[in-house]
Structure formats: C-alpha cells, structure tokens
Chains A and B, each alone.
Chain A
Amino acid sequence: GNSVTQMEGPVTLSEEAFLTINCTYTATGYPSLFWYVQYPGEGLQLLLKATKADDKGSNKGFEATYRKETTSFHLEKGSVQVSDSAVYFCALVLIQGAQKLVFGQGTRLTINP
C-alpha cells in the first residue's frame, strides 16, 4: 500500500537554527509529494510540492527535493523563525484515480527566541 513516514517529534530549535524534517514514502506508482503546514487552531495549508523525481519544491525559505532513489522528501530551512512554529505534514498522492492524499503523522516544530 501507500504510506508516508515522518520523523517523530516534537522538534524544538532555537531561532536561526537549521531545520530538517525527514520524510520517506512507499507508493505503488509515481506519486506527487507535498508538505503541508498547520498553524495553531487553523486548517492545513500547502507549503510546497514536487511532482516528479529530482524536482525541488520551495516556499517561504523551505525546500524539499523529490528523491526517487531513496524514496524521500525531506523538508529543510536554513534559518528558522519563531513564526515557523507549527505542525508539518508530509503527504503523497497518486495521479491516477481519486487522488486521495496519504499523510504522515505530522511533526510538531517549536522555535524558541
């Protein structure tokens, strides 16, 4: 089946630290990959995406590269801010069929000033 595994949280960092949140996936076809962010009390927002191998998604200083050989889509940011505190979800969808998103369990990130 299709699944997504994220590094377990919570993750706590100091402001301006380097961030990596690991994400690996298992899929029967060729998925598109996403990172969603959920700020406290809000719904999920699309952060970035990649649709094929070696694509790099980027937004708001965050980056992730679609690595087919390692089935990974790790999220990185060079210098985090307090405002980045949120829960981050890695997800995949297969283009065929009903395009049901499969989510990882989420990683709670807290940035301290």
Chain B
Amino acid sequence: NAGVTQTPKFRILKIGQSMTLQCTQDMNHNYMYWYRQDPGMGLKLIYYSVGAGITDKGEVPNGYNVSRSTTEDFPLRLELAAPSQTSVYFCASSSSDSYYGYTFGSGTRLTVV
C-alpha cells in the first residue's frame, strides 16, 4: 500500500518559472491537503479538498492553485515562482473520520533562486 506519493522530491526553480507538484493517494480518502513547512516553523495550510471537484483556500493560498479532478490526485500549481515560495511542501490525505488523523507524503523540497 503506497499511501500518499509526492513527486518530485527536490526541485530548483528560477524566479518567474512555473511548476506542478504532484500528489496521489491510494487509500480512497475523500479529504486531501497541501501544507508548506518553512525552516524552523510549523506547517501552514495552502489549499484543501473535501472531494473530487471541490477545493478551498487554506491559510496561505496566494501564488498557488489546485485542482481535484479525481479522488486520487491533488496537484499543486505554482505560477510565477518567487523566493518566498522556497519551502518544503507536504501533501496529506484523511478519511471522513478524523480519529485516524492524516497520512502524509514524504515532501517536496523546493528552492526558488
């Protein structure tokens, strides 16, 4: 059982470039989330989705976009990358029962130069 798979693991972008961070889960979870973790800080919610076709903004959505065309996939799009987007990005999923908490991917380390 793969759980939550994120690709790529590392990426360096130049200012103004765009990219998509991929996230796939195979647990049939309805809820999916994108967080960013800045050095020495906790995790901040970027976007989340409660099901296919439904997405909503989290705490820090500016500069990002998401889509949820299937239950399994929840890609995060960065348009016009900026140095402030240098961070580690984590995708997570959960079932409708919060008792089980989240399952996290292993993260994508992004550097914008």
Closest beta carbon of chain B to A42's beta carbon, Å: 6
Closest beta carbon of chain B to A63's beta carbon, Å: 17
Interface range on chain B (Cβ under 8 Å from partner) = 20 to 34
B48 x A98 contact (CB < 8 A): yes
Chain A residues within an 8 Å CB radius of B31: 98-99
| A95 interfacial by beta-carbon distance below 8 Å | yes
Closest beta carbon of chain A to B73's beta carbon, Å: 18
| B41 interfacial by beta-carbon distance below 8 Å | yes
Chain B residues within an 8 Å CB radius of A105: 41-42
| A49 interfacial by beta-carbon distance below 8 Å | yes
Q: When A and B form their complex, which 8 residue pairs have the shortest distance between CB atoms, in order from nearest?
A: A43-B104, A105-B42, A103-B42, A43-B106, A44-B104, A99-B98, A103-B43, A46-B101
B residues in contact (CB < 8 Å) with A: 31, 33, 40-43, 45, 48, 50, 56, 58, 90, 92, 94, 96, 98-99, 101-107
